[in-house]
Structure formats: structure tokens, C-alpha cells
Chain A
Amino acid sequence: MVSDKPFLLKRLFAVSFLLILLLIVTMLLGISIGSTGNELKTIFQLLSGGRALDPMREAIIWEIRFPRVILAALVGATLSLGGLVFQVLLRNPLAEPYILGISGGSAVGAIIGILMGLSRFPGVGFTAFAGSVATLLLIVLMSSGQSILKKDSLLLSGVMINAFCSAIIMFLVSMTQDARLHNIIFWLMGDLSMSDIRQVVILAATLLPCFLLLFLLSHSMNLLLMGKEMAQTMGVNIKYVTMILLVVTSFMVSATVSHCGLLGFVGLVIPHMLRLALGPDNRVLVPSCVLGGGAYMILCDLLARVLPEHGEIPVGVITAMIGAPLFIFLLKRSRQ
């Protein structure tokens, strides 16, 4: 009976292999489809070592679409993984990466940056990051000591910080009347259009070690789900692990928020969907969230670019438009 249960590693490799394939396919689609036309052929020419005929088309691929697709993958991966970690930490399958107020803090930072007339990167990125780090410190201080392990007090602190931040955001928005208002609204909706390769490389170098660290803690996350008493008596240093999970996750979510604003629902829906499909073992879910979340975000971004006749929709609109109904469907199913 039990022996036919696949070993963890086999299962991990099988799932990762499928999701890597999915990610590669979406990346190829994301790079090849766009407002200037379908470039699938050009991509294969480039990949097979030949040179593209048109340097203009090559430039579009390498300098515009490629960094954008990578950025989308990184952001999708981070938000999905962040959602997963918070769902474990708060022992609540409905938690999402912005739940502790990181989003509110960085939005306040970003809006202040925009109002100060700073450039999108690194200026606004920096103020947004500062805002979210400030929130993170506040949360850690508020729930310092033993109470960091009490999920309800953590959750309540987060909800209060978010509520306070949205009041500040409303205030700032109501005081702004010029073109900067458009910038603010776009930032709040989340968009991936401001991507250059340098920015993407810095982000990747920040995020990939975080992914690895969280994977190493994935088994401790499994044990944490058993309740803190049981986790502790199975050899987990719960205070230490909780702190690392909280700080690392908030840090990487802050990094993405400061690059592309608030992208709702990805972090809620993807881990939930993957858990329904693959079971609750976090050793499988951590890599799956990275790969699957990346693929989902690339697809959403593709829709955001391709759907409108002119210009593009902020990708946050797409992720929420697909994510919210999908989530209601999943919630209904899981209640049955």
C-alpha cells in the first residue's frame, strides 16, 4: 500500500519538470507575441544560433520583451511563494503576501516618491522599498518576543497597518491634482512596463537566494503546520524559523512591490490552486509556486499587452480579474 507512494525526490522532479516546461512555453509566448507582431520564428532563429534579419526586431526582443518576461516571472514567483509562506505562518489557507501590511507601507513610500518627482527607478523603487521595510520593522516590533508566534496578533497588526496606510494613501491622492495622479494610480494597480535589463538582473540576484532559503525551510514549514507545540517537539526551533520566514518573505515581496506596484490575487490563488492539485507538502509547493507563479504572471502580462487595441492594461487589473473569480470558485469547491 505505502510502497507505491512515490518518493519525495521523484515526485519533486516530476512536478518541477512539468512546471519548467510550462514556464519555458509561456516565456517563449511572452517574448514572441506583442504589439509589433508575432516573432516566434525570429526567436527560433536566434536560439539556433542564426542572426535575425532585422536588428530592429532583435532589439525589441532582447531589450523590451525579454526583460519584461523575466520580470513578470520573478514577480509572479515571489508573490506566489510569499502567499504560500504566509498561509503556512498564519496557518490560514486564505492568507496572501500583502496581508501583513507590506503593500500599504510600500504604497505610501512610492506615492511620496512620485509626489517628490523622483524617477521610477531607482527613485520611487527606493522610497517604496523603504516604506515596506519600515512596515516590516513595525510589525516585528509590535509582535516582538513570544507573541510573534501568535498568529492572530500578527494578523491583526497587519490589518491595522494596512488600514492606516490606506488612509494615508487616500489623503495623498486627494491632495494631488496634476499628471502625477495618473502615475500614482498606475503604480497602485501594478504594472510591469518599466523593465530594463539592469533592473531585472538586480532583482533576480536579490530574489533567487530568497527562493533557495525558503526551499531549505520547506520541511520546517510542514512541521509548523502541525501546530507550534508539535513542531517544537519534533525538533524545530519555531521562533527562529518563524522569524526567518517572516523577514525573508517580507523582504522579497517588498523588492517586487517597489519595482512594479501592487499585483493582487496572484499570491492568494496560485498557492491555493497548487495545493489542491499537489497536496500540502511544502517541499513540493515551494518550487511549484516559483515556477507556476512565474508562468501565470507571464500569461497575465501577455494578456495585458495584447488585449487592448492600443497601449496596454495594467497587469494588476488582469491578475485580479482572472484571480478573483477563480478564487471564489476554489473557495466554493473547498467548502464542499
Chain B
Amino acid sequence: MNMTVDINKISHYYGDSPVLKNLSFSVSKGDFFIIIGPNGSGKTTLMNAVSGILNPQEGRVEIFGRSIQSYNRKDLAKTIAFVPQMFPADFPFSVTEMVLMGRSPHLGMLGIEKEEDIKLAKQAMNFTEVKHLAHRKLNQLSGGERQRVFIARAICQEPQVILLDEPTASLDLAHQVKIMDLMDRLKREKGITIIMVSHDLNLAAMYGDRLLLLNRGEAVSLGLPQEVLTLHRLEATYGCRLLVDESPLGKFPRITLVPQKHVGAGRTEKKSTSNVQHRTLNIE
């Protein structure tokens, strides 16, 4: 069995309302797995269940064939690293201090770093190209730089799986590509399994090996980007008008939003639109 993460029929409720409903999927080793879905579809709750932060009320989460509950915290931290979306910046740690904290699960209670830990931190900072920022404070960095510091911290943890919660949210285009390329390199060069929540369907289409589309806590679709990202499914899930065609870059879908003013004016461009839809169907 080559499954890194195995989710088996998990359900979770906040009060009476279910956030995850009987969800099952597995992620194989070295996959770039991207979870997409509208707001409130349960993506973050699912992420918390995979990272062990949340214990789902029903079902099992297995990491390398072992129930996540049977891991002790430090062992789990050596297996899975988590890059959260939000970060409190009231206490300004330096970039080096932050990255070194990733060593905590490998160190004693006081987390006293040895020479080799500092070496690993340097390597991680090199990998994510933040080494020149080593002495800067976290709150002096831009969003993109900060995200790369968090990823360096996760790498320093030497995990086999890295979870990321919307790492490209509110970043500019250059930083978005940089983060995604970085994760792609991590996957290919270090064989780390990447599980990411993303709102950006185009990035998901370009980088994801497999996608999971969630809606109201249920898996709508699971598979290759071209299998999951189809026009009708996306329009039904997100409740808005879209265009889906093939990216000029290769065999993966490209998603375009259709603004309200173009829906009415669409008649004049009906021809091209219908072409696009036909091409989409071909992909399906």
C-alpha cells in the first residue's frame, strides 16, 4: 500500500449542522493534492482533521496506515507539517528564529538548537529563497516573503507531508507562481506529499496532480484536474457563470469568470462561447 493519507468516512458537526459528511479519499505518496470548493464547504475543517488538530466525530484518519490518534504529538509533527493561513504578528520573531522553530519536534523541551539544526534551517531558507532575510523581523516582511518563511519552517520540520491552507491568498501574481513552483519542486526533489487548500482554480488546474472538489462537506468530485474541473460541475458548485476551455499551456483546463454584464451581451459572442463549451466537453 502506497497511501500517505487515508481518509475513511469522516463526518464532523458543529452543533447540529454537518461540516463534513461521510468523506473518504486517499492521497498517495509524492502527490500534489489540492482541495478546492466554495466558502464554507468544509475545506479548513478537513485540513484540521488531516493535521490532527481536530478529531472528527465519525470515521478514521490514517497516516501511513496508522490511525492519527495513535501517534504521539511529536511523532506526528515529524510526519506532517502545517502552514496555516493566518499568523499573529504581535511578537516579532526574526526569520531565523521562526525557521528554527520547525526543529522543535526533533529537539528537547527547551528546543535548544545544535549546529546541525542551524545548518538545516539555512538549507531550508536557501530552498525557499529567504536566506537574505535571515535577520529581518517577520512583521517587516511582505506577504509573499512571510509565506516563504513559513514554508521554510515547515521544510525544517523534515516532514513527509506538508499541509497548506490557502498559501497564495492575497499574494500578487509573481508570488503566487513562486509559492506554487516551490511546492512543485518540494514534491519532485524531496518526494514530499503536498496537500493544499486553494481558492484559485487555475493554479489548482496547473499544479495539482489530483483535485478534490468539496461542497457543503461532501466530495463532489475527485480526480485529475481535467476530470474535476468541468463547466457544469463548477457552475453548479459555485453558483456563478464560468467559461472552461483548455489552457494554451497544455492539457489542463482554464477557468474564466463571466461577469454579469457579459451574460446578457453573450448573445453576440454566442458562437465563440459555444465553441469553448464544446471543447470543454471534449476534455471530459
Binding site for B on A (CB under 8 A): 1-3, 5, 7-9, 88, 91-93, 216-220, 222-223, 225-227, 229-230, 232-237, 275, 279-281, 283
Contact = CB atoms under 8 A, between A and B. Distances in A.
Given A1-B135, A2-B134, A280 B93 contact: yes
A227 B88 contact: yes
Contacts of A230: 82, 84, 87
A159 B87 CA distance: 26
B169 to A, nearest CB: 16
**Chain A residues touching B, majority SS:** loop
Contacts, number: 100
Interface string B148-178: 0000000001000001000000000000000
B110 A227 contact: no
Interface in B121-135: 121-122, 125, 131-132, 134-135
**Residue with the greatest number of chain A CB neighbours at <10 A, chosen from B81, B93, B97, B110:** B110
Interface size class for chain B? 35 or more
B77 interface: yes
Contacts of B113: 7-8
B73 A222 contact: no
A3 B52 CA distance: 34
B80 A233 contact: yes
A232 B52 CA distance: 8
Given A2-B121, A92-B90, A281-B93, A223 B104 contact: yes
B105 A234 contact: yes
B203 interface: no
Interface string B30-53: 000000000000000000100111
A236 B73 contact: yes
Contact of B93 (A1, A9, A218, A279): A279
Interface in B72-89: 73-74, 76-77, 80-82, 84, 86-88
B92 interface: yes
A229 B77 contact: no
B9 to A, nearest CB: 24
B22 to A, nearest CB: 24
**Residue with the greatest number of chain A CB neighbours at <10 A, chosen from B53, B86, B111:** B111
Nearest 6 Cβ contacts at the A-B interface? A233-B82, A235-B77, A219-B111, A235-B74, A235-B105, A280-B91
A193 B96 CA distance: 46
A268 to B, nearest CB: 15
B257 interface: no
Contacts of A223: 101, 104
A219 B110 contact: yes
A307 B113 CA distance: 47
Given A236-B73, A283-B110, A229 B84 contact: yes
Given A232-B73, A233-B51, A216 B110 contact: yes
Given A2-B121, A223-B104, A234 B110 contact: no
B71 to A, nearest CB: 10
B3 interface: no
B127 to A, nearest CB: 14
**Residue with the greatest number of chain B CB neighbours at <10 A, chosen from A2, A3, A9, A88:** A2
Contact of B122 (A2, A219, A232): A2
6 contacts: A2-B131, A227-B84, A233-B51, A235-B104, A280-B97, A283-B111
Contacts of A235: 73-74, 76-77, 104-105
